[in-house]
Structure 1
Amino acid sequence: MAYVPIKDGEYTSTIYNLLQNRVATSLLGYCHFYNQDYVQAGECYGYLSTIYPSHQEYKLNFAQCLYNSFMMSEALSTVTTIDDPSMVNDIVKLEAAVKYREGDAANARILVEQLPPDDPDIDINLGCIDYKEGNFDTALEKFNKASAYHGYQPQLAYSIALCHYKKKEYTQALKFITDIIDRGVKDHPELGVGLASEGADANSVGNTLTLHESSLVEAFNLKFAIEYRLKNYSAAKEALMDMPPRDESELDAVTLHNQAITEIDKDPSSGFSKLQFLLTQNPFPPEAFANLLVLYIKYEYYDLAADVLAENAHYTYRYLTQLQFDYFDAMINMITSPEIAIQKLDTLAGEKMNELRKLTKKVQEIRQTNDEQAAKTAVEAFDETLEVYLPVIMAQAKIYWDKGNYAQVEKIFRKSVEFCSEHDTWRLNVAHTLFMQEQKFKEAAGFYEPIVNKNYDNVNFFKLKMNQLCSKNTIYLKLYKRILSRITESHQTIRKKI
């Protein structure tokens, strides 16, 4: 490299001289900013804005660095010192972005609506605000309009996919996700998409501007969310594996959260550590707080769940619904005050049962009007409430299961048969309960058999429960042999491949 000769022993002084050079410092700040090192970039632009106060663009750049470093009040304080009419729109956009990130969508909208109607970013900004307010249809319209104006942009395509995801239109969301990934592979082969899942050695691509603008990380994380919600756990894990490779220290908060969720069964301590780490970051995925509590409850670490709630009381109102808080509170009382836990769970179960009855009636009434969209929305509300109701009755049942009171467990399940009879989790637990009562083996097999048949091709599905299905019921011996034969065949196939 040919540069101006620097004498031995003058390297340090040269560095400090360059830091005092306006052009060099500006270039350094620019490089740090687009390398997403906003703290270092902020130091450069903060210095420049102090030494050269007449150059207002340095103040704006400094404010943008503060915003990207999640120093919102400092960003607002800095941007209010800018006095340059030509920069008014940029100032308003940054102020709106701060309000948006602080959760103040109403004031963010007021600021955005001050922009000229022909501003090229106005539809994108309004779409983001509509999304934050839960108006996903309106947000989708805005993003589609912006996409038509700007042409294809990965970040806009991701925003459209995200709206479809929120509307539970997973097929449409996956279509846009696939397009983002395909274009990313074609346009940026250097990002190494899919190398890790293919078993190839892959070096970290870092958090470059190219990676950021490709929206590949966001697309793969959204694909993970869709597959996980659809219970396609292998596909969800594959989505994370296919991401451009990065070192763990370089991972964004959402990716780290999703990795923690996927590995929790195999390595709980690692998963817990990652979720605990995320709670110390600003910001962190809102789901991380509730998911850490859910997993502590699942593994019966009630003391740790209690500690998390106590140490993060300010998060309970922000990230938990009242139902979630009541459920966690009941479960934490399971060890020290089981009577209180039972009472709290009974109350929750009763409330959710009443909601389910109302929603069932609403669905029936809407279907008579032939309003398909309204019916779809009502059914989704019912399904979401059912997913909340199930953990509550399972927690109730577990109290009596642990005491060996299987008759009482059966009573709890009978109360919920009206809503849960088609749910595999409920049916499986009913089967276990009937099986443990010994005189009800035939009834238990009747619940096991459809689940086994449904998962016939999944040889890992409840292997330990196969003996329960028919060990004491000779009439089901053929089914038992057929299942064991399927498992044996699969194992032989695996050995041949190896």
Structure 2
Amino acid sequence: MPLTTIKDGEYTATVYKMIKEGRYGDAIHILSKEHQKHTKSRAALSLLGYCYYHMQDFTNAAECYEPLTQLHPEVEDYKLYYAQSLYGACAFPEAMKATFLLDSTASHTKMIKLQAAIRYGEEDFSGAKTLVEQLPQDDPDYDVDLGCLLYKEGEYEEACKKFLSSMNVLGYQPDLAYNIALCYYSLKQYASALKYIAEIIERGIREHPELSIGMTTEGIDVRSVGNTLILHETALIEAFNLKAAIEYQLKNYAAAQEALTDMPPRSEEELDPVTLHNQALMNIDTKPTEGFEKLAFLLQQNPFPPITFGNLLLLYCKYEYFDLAADVLAENAHLTYTFLTPYLYEFLDAMITCQTAPEEAFRKFDEIAGKLTEQLRKVTKQEARHNRDDESLKKHVQDYDEVLERYIPVLMAQAKIYWNRENYSMVEKIFHKSLEFCNEHDTWKLNVAHVLFMQDNKYKEAIGFYEPIVKKHYDNILNVSAIVLANLCVSYIMTSQNEEAEELMRKIEKEEEQISYEEPDKKVFHLCIVNLVIGTLYCAKGNYDFGISRVIKSLEPYNKKLGTDTWFYAKRCFLSLLENMAKHMIMLRDPVVQECIQFLEHCELYGKDVPAIIEQPLEEDRMHIGKNTVTYESRLIKALFYEVTGWNE
């Protein structure tokens, strides 16, 4: 029956049919009109509250049930639904007050459970535990509630046992499976966590095809499934978010992003805070402006994921928006003690100080580093004492790795202070001091290689650090950063190991050809950047004829090799050449000048849609869209060539 033909008095049967089919939005549309006509319509208001509750719109559900509790105080269910709706809307004080209206004899157990949940939501865990202990121990929710409290206390193994015990008694339940997966995640037992997540997802696909799981990833345009109670009961959103978090921790970033697009589709305004946070974090490299907006928005909501505050501040520092980080810290001082660990607060404080007082920042980093090195030595001693106890040893190794992961950013921040001043010998000394703890850490080894490379006379030592990184991924060499491959090739050339450099370049070329065959439209820049860096080296040594020629050849074919990064390297060489020509320090042969102008004309032709620079995401004064292109910059450089050389177009 079309909605427009429903007559007065016929809405009830139609609405029940819609509710049965899960069409809560359509039901709300009818019920709202009916309620407006008959403001004291108990049936319409009750069904309206029911529909809002099943759509997880708890605020509107509470607004429906509140007048019902006043109009019909004898109906105990209305009081319970009102309190539950307030709890769902995170209005915890109001929800607790509403529970006192319940008849303690008829609804005692329900009241205790709801009050415990409210205390848990308020993070009053001792109060929640006191209430849970009032429940009969044979109550099916008893172990589940205790498990949740144990988890909050950091007792992940004990919490997991409680959830597994409940699963044995109650049978399979998606929310319990998720709780178990979460415990394994917190214990860093990712394989076990993924096993339970996979089961949640498989059951969701099998039992609820209407939820369109995975269709967004496949590029199928599907409508939002909404925040229904069915979706909530499947625990699919939680499972996909946890899967994304695990893949992100394992540095499988593509898989993490896929987990987010695999979840049942919802419109952006329907997204829960955790999904919104994860979308912002995992797409920050490709959509930074959008990511910052989402995190800043979440910070204004109540509640928001606890890690939002720290992540927003860290990302501001990563993108060098130190003023914004300082403003957010100042404006949200009340959140500092709740959501930032002492380590993270001290680290952020030192990062922000770097901009105005680098020496003071270095001292602050040194204090943090001192505390962390002390912890590392302490854990090392404990490892030595328990080297025969597998479980204890495993825990100490895990503890050591956690402290080391906090130490590395501090060390790199210290080193960056001197790197920015081009004081590379001091950077090397800082890294040498940390040799005791970091000599096996990939980030440390990579940065040591870079600082050795920058000192010109330490290419041989740089090779010793670059080579293991490259050999580790030799079968998939394009997984190695292009700049690492380029620096290794240059180091080979500078130590007269030209054969090794040529072999490495042939290996890169072979892999790029394979990708070009499998994915013809994909741009791959590794070999191009290697050649650009080698060309830059020759230009820096004054051999512009060979260096510029290498730069030009590296960007062929232009439709596949011209990109923002490759243009950056190319234009540096051309600007350096022009500067030296303007000073009459070098002269170029006419064929080379002609080759340069032809190159710039090709860049002008193919660079219309290639940004010349990547602008900072939150920059207020943005470049004119027509000026931020390779085409525009290549025209400028070509004009300079004509001016410096005296050539005519």
Shared fold (TM-score, shorter chain, > 0.5): yes
Please state which band the TM-score falls in when normalised by the shorter chain.
Answer: over 0.9
Structure number, greater radius of gyration: 2
Q: What amino acid maps onto 1:269 in structure 2?
A: T
Please name the residue that 1:93 is paired with.
113
Please name the residue that 1:166 is paired with.
186
Q: Residue 425 of structure 1 is aligned with which of 431, 436, 443?
A: 443
Please name the residue that 1:260 is paired with.
280
Please name the residue that 1:250 is paired with.
270
Of residues 136-145 and 82-91 in structure 1, the stretch that sits farther from structure 2 once superposed is 82-91
Please name the residue that 1:492 is paired with.
516
Please name the residue that 1:195 is paired with.
215
Q: What amino acid maps onto 1:244 in structure 2?
A: P
Q: Residue 66 of structure 1 is aligned with which of 81, 86, 91?
A: 86
- Shift in Å, 1:13: 8.3
Distance, in Å, in 2 between the alignment partners of 1:139 and 1:52 is 41
Deviations 1:337-371 (CA, angstroms, capped at 9, x unpaired): 2221111011111111111111111112111xx22
- Shift in Å, 1:222: 0.6
Please name the residue that 2:338 is paired with.
318
Distance 1:486 1:101, change over 3 A: farther
Is residue 2:392 matched to residue 1:374?
yes
Q: What amino acid maps onto 2:363 in structure 1?
A: Q
Asked if structure 2 preserves the Cα contact closer than 8 Å seen for 1:253 and 1:278, the reply is yes
Distance, in Å, in 1 between the alignment partners of 2:324 and 2:278 is 21
Asked if structure 1 preserves the Cα contact closer than 8 Å seen for 2:35 and 2:41, the reply is no
What are the equivalent positions in structure 2 for 1:49-128 lying under 5 Å apart?
Answer: 49-128=69-148
- Shift in Å, 1:445: 1.5
Q: Tell me, what secondary structure is at the counterpart of 2:355?
A: helix
Of residues 412-421 and 19-28 in structure 1, the stretch that sits farther from structure 2 once superposed is 19-28
Distance, in Å, in 2 between the alignment partners of 1:241 and 1:485 is 34
Q: Tell me, what secondary structure is at the counterpart of 1:86?
A: coil
Distance, in Å, in 2 between the alignment partners of 1:354 and 1:363 is 14
Please name the residue that 1:38 is paired with.
58
Q: Tell me, what secondary structure is at the counterpart of 2:395?
A: helix
Of residues 464-473 and 407-416 in structure 1, the stretch that sits farther from structure 2 once superposed is 464-473
Distance 1:413 1:479, change over 3 A: farther
Asked if structure 1 preserves the Cα contact closer than 8 Å seen for 2:317 and 2:325, the reply is yes
Give TM-score, length-normalised by structure 2. 0.74
What are the equivalent positions in structure 2 for 1:80-479 lying under 5 Å apart?
Answer: 80-367=100-387, 370-456=388-474, 457=476, 459-474=478-493, 475=497, 476-479=500-503
Distance 1:103 1:5, change over 3 A: closer
Distance, in Å, in 1 between the alignment partners of 2:157 and 2:85 is 32
Asked if structure 2 preserves the Cα contact closer than 8 Å seen for 1:428 and 1:448, the reply is yes
Q: Tell me, what secondary structure is at the counterpart of 1:336?
A: coil
Asked if structure 2 preserves the Cα contact closer than 8 Å seen for 1:26 and 1:45, the reply is yes
Asked if structure 2 preserves the Cα contact closer than 8 Å seen for 1:459 and 1:490, the reply is no
Q: What amino acid maps onto 2:509 in structure 1?
A: S
Q: Tell me, what secondary structure is at the counterpart of 1:473?
A: helix
- Shift in Å, 1:5: 4.1
Deviations 1:304-362 (CA, angstroms, capped at 9, x unpaired): 11011011111110011111100100111111122211110111111111111111111
Distance, in Å, in 2 between the alignment partners of 1:420 and 1:296 is 27
Asked if structure 2 preserves the Cα contact closer than 8 Å seen for 1:56 and 1:84, the reply is no
Deviations 1:85-110 (CA, angstroms, capped at 9, x unpaired): 01011111111111111111111111
Identity over aligned pairs, percent: 51
Asked if structure 2 preserves the Cα contact closer than 8 Å seen for 1:469 and 1:480, the reply is no
Distance, in Å, in 1 between the alignment partners of 2:308 and 2:506 is 42
- Shift in Å, 1:4: 4.4
Deviations 1:177-216 (CA, angstroms, capped at 9, x unpaired): 1111111111111111111111222221111122111111
Question: Where in structure 2 are there 5+ consecutive unaligned residues?
Answer: 11-30, 523-649
Distance, in Å, in 2 between the alignment partners of 1:283 and 1:15 is 31
Asked if structure 2 preserves the Cα contact closer than 8 Å seen for 1:445 and 1:470, the reply is no
Distance, in Å, in 2 between the alignment partners of 1:473 and 1:497 is 32
Asked if structure 1 preserves the Cα contact closer than 8 Å seen for 2:446 and 2:466, the reply is yes
- Shift in Å, 1:494: 3.5
Deviations 1:6-35 (CA, angstroms, capped at 9, x unpaired): 89xxx9985334441222211111111111
Distance, in Å, in 2 between the alignment partners of 1:421 and 1:92 is 55
- Shift in Å, 1:408: 0.4
Deviations 1:124-174 (CA, angstroms, capped at 9, x unpaired): 111111111111111111111111111111111111111111111111111
Distance, in Å, in 2 between the alignment partners of 1:12 and 1:111 is 38
Asked if structure 1 preserves the Cα contact closer than 8 Å seen for 2:225 and 2:266, the reply is yes
Distance, in Å, in 1 between the alignment partners of 2:255 and 2:386 is 35
Distance 1:5 1:79, change over 3 A: closer
Distance, in Å, in 1 between the alignment partners of 2:138 and 2:405 is 45
- Shift in Å, 1:395: 0.1
Asked if structure 1 preserves the Cα contact closer than 8 Å seen for 2:470 and 2:477, the reply is no
- Shift in Å, 1:480: 2.5
Q: What amino acid maps onto 1:462 in structure 2?
A: S
Q: Please provide the CA RMSD for this pair.
A: 1.8
Asked if structure 2 preserves the Cα contact closer than 8 Å seen for 1:263 and 1:271, the reply is yes
Distance, in Å, in 1 between the alignment partners of 2:510 and 2:202 is 37
Q: Tell me, what secondary structure is at the counterpart of 2:478?
A: coil
Q: Tell me, what secondary structure is at the counterpart of 1:285?
A: coil
Distance, in Å, in 2 between the alignment partners of 1:144 and 1:483 is 51
Give TM-score, length-normalised by structure 1. 0.95
Asked if structure 2 preserves the Cα contact closer than 8 Å seen for 1:56 and 1:83, the reply is yes
Distance, in Å, in 2 between the alignment partners of 1:338 and 1:65 is 52
Question: Where in structure 1 are there 5+ consecutive unaligned residues?
Answer: none
Q: Tell me, what secondary structure is at the counterpart of 1:204?
A: coil
Distance, in Å, in 1 between the alignment partners of 2:440 and 2:177 is 37
Distance, in Å, in 1 between the alignment partners of 2:39 and 2:138 is 40
Would you identify which runs of 4 or more consecutive aligned residues in structure 1 move more than 6 Å?
Answer: none
Q: Tell me, what secondary structure is at the counterpart of 2:519?
A: helix
Of residues 399-408 and 339-348 in structure 1, the stretch that sits farther from structure 2 once superposed is 339-348
Q: What amino acid maps onto 2:439 in structure 1?
A: S
Q: Tell me, what secondary structure is at the counterpart of 1:471?
A: helix
